[in-house]
Amino acid sequence: MDFENLPEERELAFFGGSFTGIPLKRQKFLLSAVQPWIMSGEIQSIRVSTHALCIDDTKLSLLKKYHVKTVELGIQSTDDEVLNLAGRKCSFDVVQFAVNRIQAMDFRLGLQLMPGLPGDNEQKFQKSVDNVISLKPDFVRI
């Protein structure tokens, strides 16, 4: 691969779904495929985007083994009504559990919020922002 025109610090990201929600065998296959670039220093880190319901210590240990540095959770909102109307069946308690596990295993943590979902309003979104801040992520995407 030609890395000549890329920045010195390069990261590979698996986005577009819940990475830790796919079968472990497939996760291993995908992560193994990029290890030569990690080992050679051509890529410095890996990040994955996933769902809080798809986080457990087994999956996080696998990510750690394959040099994943950043885990992003697409939480969209912390308001149960908004989440239900948007078809996201994940309570804030589940998000808190996932965040605690991710942080305990020393990953960089990113949280993704999505304003304007069905049933959302300024007050509910501000509460989601406050809840996210309380979790102390390394970064937030809106």
pLDDT tens column, 13-72:
999 889 999 999 999 999 999 999 999 998 999 999 999 999 999 999 999 999 999 999
**Residues contacting residue 102 through CB under 8 Å, at least 6 positions apart:** 55, 60, 71, 73, 109
Over residues 42-58, the pLDDT tens digits come to: 899 999 999 999 999 99
Confidence band (pLDDT; 50, 70, 90) for 8? confident
Scan for tokens 């696998």, then name that residue: 62
Residue type, 107: F
Distance of CA 73 to the CA centre of its chain: 3
104-124 exposure pattern, b = at least 16 Cβ within 10 A, e = fewer: eeebbbbbbbbbebeebeeeb
DSSP element (H, E) containing 13 = strand 11-14
Q: Give the HSE-up count for residue 123: Cα atoms under 13 Å, Cβ half-sphere.
A: 2
Q: How far apart are alpha carbons 2 and 121 in whole angstroms?
A: 46
Residue 127 structure tokens: 């509460």
Tell me the fold of 11-141: TIM Barrel (3.20.20)
